[in-house]
Amino acid sequence: MNSNNTYQIPFVSLLLLFIIVLMMNLSFGSVDIPIQDIFDILFNKTSSNENWQIIITEFRIPKAITAIFGGSALAVSGLLMQTLFRNPLADPYILGISSGASLGIAILILLVSIGGFSTIFLSNWSFIIAAAIGASLIMLVVLTMAGKIKNTMSILIIGLMFGSFAAAIIGIMAYFSTANQLQQYIAWGFGNLGNHSTQELWIYFGFYIIGIIPLLFLIKPLNSLLLGENYAQSLGVNIKKVRLSILVVTSLLTGLVTAFSGPIAFVGLAVPHLTKLIFNTSNHFILIPAVLLNGAILMLISDTIAQLPNSEFTLPINAITTLFGAPIVIWLIVRKRKINY
Amino acid sequence: MTENQKNIILEVRDLSIGYADKKKKVIVKNQLNFKANQGEFICLLGKNGVGKSTLLKTLSKVIPKLAGNILINKNEINKINSKLFSKILSVVLTERLPESNLTVFELVALGRQPHTNWVDNLSVEDLNMVNNALELTNTVHLKDKNIFELSDGQLQKVLISRALAQDTPIIIFDEPTAHLDIHHKIETFLLLKKLSKEAQKTIIISTHEIHWAIELADTIWLMTANNCYFDSPENLKNQERFQELFDSLLVTFDAQSNQFKISVP
């Protein structure tokens, strides 16, 4: 397959859109900060208002970075799942990763209250670690089984089963929980992009890069998978190896985002569709960078809306991604009258 | 070395085909011995369930052989790595393609994957191969269409182009005429025959169109319940092998018309 110049215009437009939404994201919030001051703070490290500088560097930039990482990682994971499983409804959580992370969080909350530990244990780090352990465990089980199974569709079903299994355990735990515990658990489930220190962000960045780099080597096999596994194999693709690589990358990226920001819905499902409708191609050489970019854009827009400009309130990010994303996808599908994956 | 021996591309010795897992082995056919030459048009005949697909899958390394040797250009296929193998043998399958936004051009260009670099960039040579493949099957005008806008007949030709673009000396087709009307069936048969001669490809197809196979094939691989024959259509006809295709007394082979006749009791 070939890349050609027809894709330059949409790519340039998306890049511009990305910069605009990033600036809006930094500018709007409980306090509106003029774009001019944002540029000053970003490039000259000075500002007419000391408080603004703190708000931008300490809060809004880390939050924007989390949004960019999270949106792009989830979106590209969704693309990988949809291509691998040849299913337009596949999303990054289809392998049960978010359920695993949720289980980790549920156990953490329960342990802290039963063990009588002080709520200091419910810090950022403990949430990240608990979610990461939960996601990794589910991921390890699914990957181990995937290594033994020939049929790709069976992996999908096993992933779904583990997800339901974890959800059931959470259900039992929730039944015996206090209102306070439940609230903590539900609050985590709403998703949260903020509250990350520089140190946390560096760790996030490190794992993010480890997850993104293998994508370069998956472009070609992903394209051949468009013809189905048998044709891909006849083109020299080692199906088992490629399948495992796709699952490892997806698990890593999705587990990472879930650990840092909670189970953020919808982005992974919708962005690949949006991108395919905009670019009208199935070529992963185009789709992967476009999906990364679109994921980041959608997440930044959602976060800007969630901040409710000029108010003290913040809406749950999870609700916003769906509330504003779903109508866009429906509109595009009705307009183009078709959707492929 | 005679001229004939020089052109042998595929040689099979004492081959057993079938399915095996840890617990048991199901042998479908064994002790198969045959050869195929460069530029040969081969039709594989046999009734459903006799093992045609198993043989083709074994030859194309989709399933492992149970015993014996398969040599391509005198190399044992198990010793050829999958990258290199994809430059030697291509396949056209009966299965439906998954849905996608692929255009005809992109689909045919995917055939170039074994030859392209890691980002799948098409070189001038790749582009020439793709265009050449489209020209050979008369599908250049379909180039920019989405593959789901095509009729079954058009899609079959495009899939043949994809295999041609892969530029392999051997192409295996699993029932290429199964979904086609009589017009496209004949067209496909003639096209494959033409390609085997003009492009010097070894083309192996499984089919149920026995009369056309007898008329057009250089060699017929005939699989019956108990035996396998690898010979020219004339020899097989003279030895009355086609009668063995159906064990029922209701169906008899008429050598005059190359057709099976139903004898109503």
Which residue in the set B90, B100, B107 is minimally distant from A234, CB to CB? B90
In a domain, A145, yes or no: yes
Residue B118 and residue A237: Cβ atoms within 8 Å?
no
How many structural domains is chain A composed of?
1
Q: What percent of chain B has pLDDT over 90?
A: 60
How far A201 CA sits from the closest chain B CA (Å)? 31
pLDDT digits (tens, 9 = 90+) for A220-245: 999 999 999 999 999 999 988 999 89
Tally of CA atoms within 13 A in the half-sphere of A195 that contains its CB: 11
- Mean pLDDT over residues A305-329, rounded? 83
Instruction: Please give the average per-residue pLDDT across A63-74, as a whole number.
Output: 96
In this predicted structure, the answer to whether residue B107 has a pLDDT above a threshold of 90 is yes
Contact across the interface for B106 and A228, Cβ inside 8 Å: no
Cβ neighbours, 10 Å, residue A324: 15
CATH of domain B38-63+82-262: 3.40.50.300
Nearest CA in chain B to A223: B110
pLDDT band at A307 (very low <50, low <70, confident <90, very high): confident
How far is A193 from A177, CA to CA, in rounded Å? 26
For chain B, the first-to-last Cα distance in angstroms comes to 55
Q: Kindly indicate the confidence band of residue A63, based on its pLDDT and cuts at 50, 70 and 90.
A: very high
User: Tell me, what amino acid is at A132?
Assistant: A
pLDDT band at B2 (very low <50, low <70, confident <90, very high): very low
CATH at residue A291: 1.10.3470.10
Q: Do A234 and B106 touch (CB under 8 A)?
A: no
CB pairs under 8 A between A and B: 91
Domain range for residue A311?
Answer: 5-336
Q: How far apart are CA A230 and CA A221, in angstroms?
A: 12
Phi and psi at B171, nearest 5°, equal -125, 130
Answer yes or no: is A274 within a domain: yes
**How confident is the model over A150-203, as pLDDT tens digits?**
788 888 888 888 888 888 999 998 888 888 888 888 888 888 888 888 889 999
Residues 6+ apart with CB under 8 A from B231: B219, B220, B222, B239, B241
Q: Pick from A223, A233, A285: which is nearest to B110 by CB? A: A223
Average pLDDT over residues A235-261: 91
Give the confidence band of B12 by pLDDT, cuts at 50, 70, 90. Answer: very high
With 0-12 CB in 10 A as exposed, 13-18 as middle and 19+ as buried, what is B163? Answer: buried
Question: Chain A within 8 Å of B252 (Cβ-Cβ)?
Answer: no
Q: Which of residues 153-182 of B touch A (CB under 8 A)?
A: 166
Confidence bin at A1 (pLDDT 50/70/90): very low
C-alpha B77/C-alpha B85 separation (Å) is 8
The pLDDT, as a whole number, for residue B256 is 79
Provide the 10 A C-beta neighbour count for residue B128: 11
pLDDT band at B243 (very low <50, low <70, confident <90, very high): confident
Query: In Å, how far is A27's CA from the nearest CA of chain B?
Result: 38
What average pLDDT does chain A have?
86
Cβ within 8 Å, pair B120-A1: yes
Residue B102 in contact with partner chain A when CB distance is under 8 A: yes
Does a structural domain hold residue A297? yes
State residue A37's pLDDT score. Answer: 85
pLDDT category at A341 given cuts 50, 70, 90 is: very low
Helix (H) or strand (E) holding B25: strand B25-37
Q: For helices A198-212 and A124-148, give the axis angle rounded to 10 degrees.
A: 10
Question: What pLDDT, on a 0 to 100 scale, did the predictor assign at position A250?
Answer: 92
Domain ranges of chain B: 38-63+82-262
User: What's the token pair of residue A201?
Assistant: 């962000």
Q: Would you report the helix, strand and coil content of chain A in percent, each value rounded to 5?
A: 80, 0, 20
Q: Are B41 and B196 in contact (CB under 8 A)?
A: yes
Averaged over B11-32, what is the pLDDT?
90
The per-residue pLDDT for range A91-113, each reduced to its tens digit, is 888 888 888 889 998 888 888 87
Does this complex have an ipTM over 0.95?
Answer: no
- Give yes or no for residue B265 having a pLDDT over 80: no
**pLDDT level of residue A118 (50, 70, 90 thresholds):** low
> What is the rounded distance in angstroms from the CA atom of residue A80 to the CA atom of residue A277?
17
Nearest to A340 among B100, B110, B127 (CB): B100
Chain B residues 189-248 with CB within 8 Å of chain A: none
What was the pLDDT predicted at A336? Answer: 64
Is the minimum CB–CB distance between B111 and chain A shorter than 8 Å? Answer: yes
Q: With respect to residue A341, please indicate whether it lies within any of the assigned structural domains.
A: no
